[in-house]
Amino acid sequence: MSTRRLGVQDRLIGEIDKIIKTLTLPPRASRDVPQTTPGEVLAEAERAESVRLMRVNHAGEVAAQALYQGQALTARDPKVESAMREAAAEEVDHLAWCEERLKELKGRPSFLNPLWYVGSLSIGALAGALGDRASLGFIAETEKQVESHLRDHLERLSPRDLRSRAILTQMTHDEMKHGAKAASMGGKALPFPITWAMRATSRLMTHGSYWI
């Protein structure tokens, strides 16, 4: 009995450590930043828009870390938990790339990131508690919406911001892969009220991070 409690405590400490590192330490990517030929120098209005868009994407990757963490915590099937951890590792690359690009653009992350993290962690844990098929379906729908959001940002970025475009293009490919894998593992389609609520929450985070 005492061994089980110790195991739970160790796991909880490990998860808290992940929260602190995600919100306070520079993320370390396992893959190099997607490279491209240097673009032209951006006008100030173009640079400012790139900062705002990359800040939104950075916030989305902070939320993704929390979402996968919450779902892995409550996953029933070890294979599902492993898939969540693997996807989260790739999302760390996205987080690092967005953060590096923000620094290059002389921008900053969203001040609201701690709020997005806590909210996403709770949502992820709830989704996982509903069962693995529902959790996988939630991931598939989330990645579908993220893919649409990234494609919208690619259209809004200046054609001259080749570096940001390369990052978002690779992120789009990765998110499509995550969504397809979740669906192939048995993720079930979510009812419309849930997908509507997910879109509404995403819009709130997008608008908040764009400005704050």
CATH architecture designation of domain 42-211: Up-down Bundle (1.20)
Rounded to two decimals, what is the model's pTM? 0.82
* Nearest one of 110, 105, 109 to 47, comparing CA atoms: 105
pLDDT of 171 over the 60 cut? yes
pLDDT of 147 over the 70 cut? yes
pLDDT in tens, 17-40: 666 666 666 677 778 888 777 667
Q: Treating both helix axes as pointing N-terminal to C-terminal, what angle do 132-156 and 162-184 enclose, rounded to 10 degrees?
A: 160
pLDDT of 8 over the 50 cut? no
The pLDDT assigned to 4 comes to 45
Give the length of the chain. Answer: 212
> Is the Cβ–Cβ distance between 171 and 57 less than 8 Å?
yes
Measured distance CA(105)–CA(204) in Å, rounded: 24
* Nearest one of 42, 30, 64 to 163, comparing CA atoms: 42
Give the residue extent of every domain in the chain. Answer: 42-211
Residue 73 φ/ψ, nearest 5 degrees: -65, -35
- The token duo for 23 is 């919100």
Q: Which residue has the tokens 């997910």?
A: 198
Residue 172: pLDDT band by 50, 70, 90 thresholds? very high
Residue 86: pLDDT band by 50, 70, 90 thresholds? confident
Measured distance CA(102)–CA(98) in Å, rounded: 6
